[in-house]
């Protein structure tokens, strides 16, 4: 469905050149695909290229056979695309229904009867049917995000791109969002870009980890966990000293007997009381980032 | 004091770093240099007399005041408003920064950033005059005085309004009104149409140009404004600036109490 | 036109783009009534339609595309650049047109004689030409600099320069860039060439704006 070969995006020139994307190769098929990475990894740039808003500096990117480096290709892809950007700007003086209706018109749904029906459907899908006539400026953050997803769905897109959709949402809203996205992924490509590991873990069977414009990992969450086995420990220490020996502290909890640390690293040789623990996805992410930093230092 | 200087320094640096500002100044100053500046007599290279260096300095500064304040007014209009738009003001209010330190720091930072490129350019042009033998070295001194007496009050006046007014009206509305005002309030003939031009509320620098620098070079017409008129004009302009800044502070205080 | 809605185009416009021209129009109407002098009325009328309306249109146009809160979403839809340009500027032009025409009607009703501006065609070209030119300049400047401030600055600067040195502009080669020729010196022998040159300039500005709009990443 989406074929990406050696995708690059560069900003600036000379000493100030930033390689936002540096030779990304990916093939994404139907279903839920997660793109994980730290801030500044290039996720939003990648999403914007897929949405046809940003032009790549090099490489090729084809969506359902259409070449995104050409105007005709971009136009064709935008017709089958639903996009929820990270910074969601909306016309807050419009009601939810009006806004989604307007976006439907911009996406080419000219038949007013079909469009009205579709707008109702998507608002129902995101649980905003009852407040459809309320102005967006009166909505909470979560509700605004839901309006965002509604406008992304209104043209029944083959590809749905959601960039950091759960940032700033409360846990209940995040769960609702994740479930909605998984439902939608049954019959289309859903690309979820996030730095929240849990969102990926709960929804995606296929993911890539992006850092400094490069793909560090490509596979399933299970593969990522397998690669981390043997590198996660639990350690309780008393006193003020913190674990070192090139171990990353993923979490710490103050207990009566001392502080319990969850550690990720190559080895916990220096700590005889450290106990190997089953890795979680967050641990896997930290281990991956650690390895990539070490590779950079060695090179 | 250190907080005020911090705000001033930050605003100055931010304004100076705007490529748009340098492009705008570059275009306008180039335009001036080619078209508006009084041409040097072609018959022979003459050295300006003592009286003429004052008149010429005043004329250059006054001519720059025709258009540059419009540019300054438009470009500075978003400097204070953007802090609100970007949510930075909320962060600043949670710090020990006093409101007066903030507004004055912003004001002087924007003002100095607007004046600096013009002063550099004026000194450059003055240097050329002196280097080519058209003026004595004293011209440097008179040009700087003309800058201070004619241009600085105009820029200061415009900057105060450009910081304050966009807080109570949309930016584009202010830019339209201000551009129209600059022409109406400074260059319309009062005999033809009611205007502030010619009153003590005129910030164009005409009072100072005539009162302190002798008016148009080679003009035989009597001067309309004396040195005491010019002084009074500067005082009135100064009071207007103070009034605007005071009202701005009151408005911002009222806004934070409302929030 | 596909993918266009007049209703939503109006609803998504900033309110000040509607009330401000109206307020300005009302101000000039009141001013005319207060001063109530035959010569003054004519000067005020031509100042409004040929000088003030282009300024308002130009600066409003500078904000037309970039001052859109949903710009990223709009760019992600399959709307062509030409349509974005048309949709976001046409209302500005319509509002200025209605303002100018309404003022002309008002002026005629109170007895203003527009004969010095020539026939009906010349009268309307005298305000249409500078208005289109300033709108095109405003939007071009904003898109070129990827900032609304650049567009409004260019419009303001050109306006003030041409208003202040209008007499000088009418007599040398700058006359082809003199946007107020039709309204301030309608008897100028090069008026037609001037208007053709300004139309050409406007078309050029709009063409380059359309080209630049394809580089959407510059504006988000």
**Range of B40-44, B106-110, B131-135, C34-38 with top mean pLDDT:** B106-110
C150 reaches B (C-beta below 8 A): yes
The CA distance from B225 to B209, in Å, is 9
* Distance in Å from the first CA to the final CA of chain C: 26
Predicted confidence band of residue B69 (pLDDT cuts 50, 70, 90): very high
Residues of A in contact with C72 (CB under 8 A): 53, 85, 87, 89
Query: With an 8 Å Cβ cutoff, are C153 and B24 in contact?
Result: yes
State whether residue A151 sits within 8 Å of chain C by CB.
yes
Pairs of CB atoms within 8 A across A/C:
77
> In whole numbers, what is the pLDDT of chain C averaged over residues?
92
- Nearest by CB to residue A85, choosing from C12, C72, C77, is C72
Nearest CA-CA partner of B56 in B28, B37, B77: B37
- The Cα–Cα gap between C167 and B36 comes to 13
For the ranges B229-238, C6-15, C130-139, C190-199, the lowest mean pLDDT is seen at C6-15
> Cβ contact (<8 Å) for C160 and B179?
yes
Nearest CA in chain C to B31: C161
- C16 and chain A in contact, CB less than 8 A: no
C219 reaches A (C-beta below 8 A) = no
Return the structure tokens found at A77: 């892809």
Asked if residue C99 lies in contact with residue C21, where contact means CB atoms within 8 angstroms, the answer is yes
Number of separate domains in chain B = 1
What is the number of helices (H) and of strands (E) in chain C?
11, 0
In angstroms, the first-to-last Cα distance of chain A is 35
| Whether C106 contacts C68, CB under 8 Å | no
Residue of C nearest to B182 (CA): C160
Write out chain C residues lying below 8 Å of A48, CB-based: 217, 220
SS (H, E, C) chain A: CEEEEEEEEEECCHHHCEEEEEEEEEEECCEEEEEECCCCCCHHHHHHHHCCCCCCCEEEEEECCEECCCHHHHHHHHHCEEEECCCCCCCCCCEHHHHHHHHHHHCCCCCHHHHHHHHHHHHHHCCCHHHCCCEHHHCCHHHHHHHHHHHHHCCCCCEEEEECCCCCCCHHHHHHHHHHHHHHHHHCEEEEEECCHHHHHHHCCEEEEEECCEEEEEECHHHHHHHHCCCEEEEEECCCCCCCCCCEEEEEEEECCEEEEEEECCCCCCCCCCEECCCCHHHHHHHHHHHHHHHHHHC
Contact across the interface for C55 and B70, Cβ inside 8 Å: no
Q: Is B153 within the bounds of a domain?
A: yes
Q: Nearest CA to CA, how far is B119 from chain C (Å)? A: 20
Give me the residue label for tokens 């929030």.
B259
The pairing of strands A31-36 and A189-194 is parallel
Structural domain includes residue B245 = yes
Angle at B176 between CA C166 and CA B113, to 5 degrees: 90
**pLDDT greater than 70 at residue B46:** no
C-beta atoms of C159 and B187 within 8 A: no
- Rounded Cα–Cα distance for residues A155 and A82 (Å): 7
Q: What distance in Å separates the CA atoms of residue B209 and residue B55, rounded to the nearest whole number?
A: 8
Closest B-chain CA to C161: B67
CATH H-level, domain A2-220: superfamily = P-loop containing nucleotide triphosphate hydrolases (3.40.50.300)
Closest by CA to A37, choosing from A55, A51, A24, is A24
> Is residue C125's pLDDT more than 90?
yes
**Is C59's CB within 8 Å of B24's CB?**
no
Cβ atoms of residues A85 and C75 within 8 Å: no
Beta carbons of A191 and A28 less than 8 angstroms apart: yes
Q: Is the pLDDT of residue A145 over 70?
A: yes
Domain that holds residue B250: 2-27+48-258
In this structure, what are the phi and psi dihedrals at residue C127, rounded to the nearest 5 degrees?
Answer: -110, -30
- Distance, in Å, from the CA atom of B20 to the CA atom of C144, rounded to the nearest integer, reads 11
pLDDT value of position A25: 95
Query: Other CB atoms closer than 10 Å to residue A39's CB: what's the count?
Result: 8
Q: Is C216 on the interface with A (CB under 8 A)?
A: yes
Answer whether residue B36 is part of any domain. no
For A87, name the nearest residue in chain C, comparing CA atoms only. C72
Which pLDDT belongs to residue A196? 86
The answer, yes or no, to whether residue C75 has pLDDT greater than 70, is yes
Question: What is d(CA B144, CA B138) in angstroms, rounded to the nearest whole number?
Answer: 10
| For chain B, counts of helices (H) and of strands (E) | 11, 0
Which residues of chain A neighbour C3 with C-beta distances below 8 Å? 105-108, 110
Residue with tokens 């089953």: A278
Sketch the domain layout of chain A as residue ranges: 2-220, 226-298
Find out whether A36 and A54 touch, Cβ atoms under 8 Å.
no
Determine whether the interchain pair B23/C160 forms a contact, defined as Cβ–Cβ distance below 8 Å: no
Instruction: Lay out the sheet containing A66-67: strands in order across.
Output: A18-28, A2-11, A58-63, A66-67
pLDDT tens-digit readout, A49-91: 999 999 999 999 999 999 999 999 999 999 999 999 988 999 9
- Is C55 close to B183, i.e. CB distance below 8 A? no
For residue C10, give the nearest of A98, A226, B107 by alpha carbon.
A98
Indicate whether B43 pLDDT > 50. Answer: no
The reply to whether residue C43 touches residue B192, judged by beta carbons under 8 angstroms, is: yes
Is residue B139 a part of any domain in this protein?
yes
Task: List chain C residues with CB under 8 Å of B71.
Answer: 153, 156-157
User: Worst-scoring range by mean pLDDT, C36-50, C98-112, C195-209?
Assistant: C36-50
How far apart are the C-alpha atoms of C184 and C163, rounded to whole Å? 10
DSSP class of C77? S
Of C43, C153, C165, the CB nearest to B75: C153
Please provide the average confidence, as pLDDT, over all residues in chain A: 90
For residue C213, pLDDT over 60 is answered with: yes
Give the pLDDT confidence score for residue C10 in this predicted structure. 86
Total Cβ atoms within 10 A of residue A205 = 13
Residue B34 lies in a domain: no
Nearest to C157 among B20, B28, B193 (CB): B28
CB of A179 within 8 Å of any CB in chain C?
no
Q: Does residue A241 belong to the interface with chain C, where contact is any CB pair within 8 Å?
A: no
Give the whole-angstrom CA distance, residue C220 versus residue C208.
Answer: 19
> What is the C-alpha to C-alpha distance for residues A151 and A82, in angstroms, rounded to an integer?
8
What's the average model confidence in pLDDT over C168-196? Answer: 92
Of A83, A90, A110, the CB nearest to C76: A83
Per CB-CB distance under 8 Å, the chain B contacts of C20 are 170, 172-173, 176
Q: A117: burial class by Cβ within 10 Å (0-12, 13-18, 19+)? A: exposed
Mutate one of A10, A47, A53 to test the C interface: name it (highest C CB count within 10 A). Answer: A53
Q: How confident is the model at residue B236 (pLDDT cuts 50, 70, 90)?
A: very high
**Paired sense of beta strands A18-28 and A2-11, if any:** antiparallel
State yes or no: chains B and A have 3 or more CB pairs below 8 A: no
The A232-237 sheet, strands edge to edge? A248-255, A258-264, A232-237, A275-276
H helices of B77-199, where? 81-85, 88-93, 99-131, 138-146, 152-164, 171-187
In this structure, chain A runs to a length of: 299
Q: Is the Cβ of C65 closer than 8 Å to some Cβ of chain B?
A: no
| φ, ψ (nearest 5 deg) of residue B16 | -70, -25
Sequence spans of domains, chain C: 14-219
CB atoms within 10 A of CB C117: 23
A115: left (phi over 0), alpha (psi -120 to 50) or beta: alpha
Instruction: Tell whether A46 is within 8 A of chain C (Cβ).
Output: no
Question: Which residues in B lie closer than 8 A to residue C63 (C-beta atoms)?
Answer: 171-172
Paired tokens of B146: 């003309």
Instruction: Assess whether pLDDT exceeds 80 at residue A163.
Output: yes
- Give the integer Cα–Cα distance in Å for A163 and A192: 6
B140 within a domain of the structure (yes/no): yes
* Segment A126-150 mean pLDDT: 93
Given a cut of 50, is residue A291 above it in pLDDT?
Answer: yes
Compute how many other C-beta atoms are within 10 angstroms of the C-beta atom of residue C210. Answer: 17
């Amino acid at each position: 469905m989406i074929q990406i070969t050696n995708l690059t995006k560069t900003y600036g020139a000379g000493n100030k050149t930033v390689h936002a994307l540096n030779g990304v190769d990916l093939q994404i098929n139907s279903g839920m695909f997660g793109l994980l990475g730290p801030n500044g990894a290039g996720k939003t740039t990648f999403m914007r290229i897929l949405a046809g808003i940003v032009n790549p500096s090099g490489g090729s990117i084809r969506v359902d056979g259409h070449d995104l480096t050409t105007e005709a290709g971009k136009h064709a892809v935008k017709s089958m695309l639903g996009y929820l950007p990270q910074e969601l700007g909306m016309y807050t003086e419009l009601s939810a229904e009006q806004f989604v209706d307007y976006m439907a018109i911009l996406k080419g749904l000219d038949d007013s009867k079909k469009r009205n029906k579709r707008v109702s459907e998507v608002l129902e899908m995101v649980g905003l049917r009852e407040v459809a006539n309320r102005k967006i400026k009166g909505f909470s953050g979560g509700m605004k995000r839901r309006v965002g997803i509604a406008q992304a769905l209104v043209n029944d897109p083959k590809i749905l791109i959601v960039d950091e959709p759960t940032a700033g949402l409360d846990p209940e809203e995040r769960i609702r969002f994740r479930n909605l996205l998984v439902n939608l992924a049954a019959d289309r490509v859903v690309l979820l870009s996030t730095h929240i590991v849990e969102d990926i873990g709960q929804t995606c069977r296929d993911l890539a980890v992006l850092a400094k414009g490069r793909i560090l990992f490509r596979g399933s969450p299970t593969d990522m966990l397998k690669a981390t086995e043997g590198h996660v420990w639990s350690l309780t220490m008393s006193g003020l000293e913190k674990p070192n020996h090139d171990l990353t502290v993923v979490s710490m909890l103050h207990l009566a007997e001392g502080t319990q640390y969850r550690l990720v690293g190559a080895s916990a040789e220096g700590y005889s009381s450290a106990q190997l623990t089953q890795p979680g996805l967050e641990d896997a992410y930290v281990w991956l980032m650690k390895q990539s930093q070490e590779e950079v230092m060695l090179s | 004091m250190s907080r005020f200087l911090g705000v001033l320094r930050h605003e100055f640096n931010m304004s100076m770093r705007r490529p748009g500002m340098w492009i705008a100044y570059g275009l306008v100053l180039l335009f001036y240099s080619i078209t508006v500046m009084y041409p040097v007599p072609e018959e022979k290279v003459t050295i300006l007399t003592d009286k003429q260096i004052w008149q010429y300095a005043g004329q250059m500064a006054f001519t720059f005041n025709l258009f540059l304040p419009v540019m300054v007014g438009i470009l500075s209009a978003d400097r204070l408003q953007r802090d609100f738009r970007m949510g930075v003001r909320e962060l600043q209010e949670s710090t020990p920064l006093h409101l007066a330190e903030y507004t004055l720091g912003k004001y002087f930072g924007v003002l100095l950033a607007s004046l600096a490129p013009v002063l550099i350019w004026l000194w450059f042009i003055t240097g050329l005059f002196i280097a080519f033998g058209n003026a004595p070295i004293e011209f440097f001194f008179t040009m700087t005085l003309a800058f201070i007496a004619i241009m600085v009050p105009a820029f200061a006046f415009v900057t105060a309004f450009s910081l304050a007014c966009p807080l109570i009206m949309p930016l584009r509305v202010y830019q339209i009104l201000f551009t129209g005002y600059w022409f109406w309030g400074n260059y319309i003939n009062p005999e033809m149409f009611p205007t502030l031009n010619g009153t003590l509320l005129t910030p164009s620098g005409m009072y100072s140009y005539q009162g302190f620098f002798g008016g148009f070079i080679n003009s035989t017409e009597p001067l309309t404004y004396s040195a005491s008129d010019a002084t009074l004009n500067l005082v009135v302009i100064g009071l207007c600036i103070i009034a605007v800044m005071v009202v701005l502070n009151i408005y911002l205080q009222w806004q934070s109490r409302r929030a | 036109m596909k993918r266009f809605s007049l209703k939503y185009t109006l609803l998504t416009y900033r309110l000040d783009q509607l009330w401000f021209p109206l307020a300005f129009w009302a101000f000039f109407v009141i001013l005319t009534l207060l001063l109530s002098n035959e010569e003054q009325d004519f000067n005020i009328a031509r100042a409004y339609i040929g000088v003030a309306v282009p300024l308002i249109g130009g600066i409003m146009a500078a904000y037309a595309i970039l001052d859109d809160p949903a710009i990223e979403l709009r760019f992600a839809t399959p709307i062509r650049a030409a349509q974005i340009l048309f949709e976001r500027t046409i209302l500005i032009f319509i509002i200025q047109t209605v303002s100018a025409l309404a003022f002309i009607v008002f002026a005629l009703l109170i007895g203003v004689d527009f004969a010095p501006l020539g026939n009906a065609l010349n009268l309307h070209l005298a305000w249409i030409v500078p208005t289109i030119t300033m709108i095109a300049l405003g939007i071009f400047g904003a898109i070129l600099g990827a900032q609304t401030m650049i567009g409004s600055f260019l419009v303001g600067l050109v306006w003030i320069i041409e208003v202040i040195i209008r007499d000088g502009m009418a007599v040398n080669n700058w006359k082809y860039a003199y946007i107020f020729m039709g309204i301030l010196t309608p008897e100028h022998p090069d008026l037609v060439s001037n208007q053709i040159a300004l139309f050409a300039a406007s078309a050029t500005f709009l063409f380059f704006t359309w080209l630049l709009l394809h580089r959407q990443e510059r504006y988000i």
